Amino acid sequence: AQSVAQPEDQVNVAEGNPLTVKCTYSVSGNPYLFWYVQYPNRGLQFLLKYITGDNLVKGSYGFEAEFNKSQTSFHLKKPSALVSDSALYFCAVRDITNRDDKIIFGKGTRLHILP
Partner 1 sequence: GAVVSQHPSWVICKSGTSVKIECRSLDFQATTMFWYRQFPKQSLMLMATSNEGSKATYEQGVEKDKFLINHASLTLSTLTVTSAHPEDSSFYICSARDSVGLAGLNEQFFGPGTRLTVL
Smallest distance from the beta carbon of 64 to partner 1, in angstroms?
20
Residue whose CB is less far from partner 1, 43 or 115: 43
Pairing of strands 19-21, 73-78: antiparallel
Pairing of strands 31-38, 87-95: antiparallel
Smallest distance from the beta carbon of 103 to partner 1, in angstroms?
6
- Residues in contact with partner 1 by CB under 8 A are 36, 41-44, 46, 51, 90, 94, 100, 102-108
86 phi, psi to nearest 5 deg: -60, 120
What is d(CA 50, CA 33) in angstroms, rounded to the nearest whole number?
A: 5
What is d(CA 7, CA 21) in angstroms, rounded to the nearest whole number?
A: 9
Residue whose CB is less far from partner 1, 82 or 104: 104
Residue whose CB is less far from partner 1, 14 or 21: 21
Smallest distance from the beta carbon of 48 to partner 1, in angstroms?
13
Residue whose CB is less far from partner 1, 15 or 49: 49
42: CB partners within 8 A, 6+ apart? none
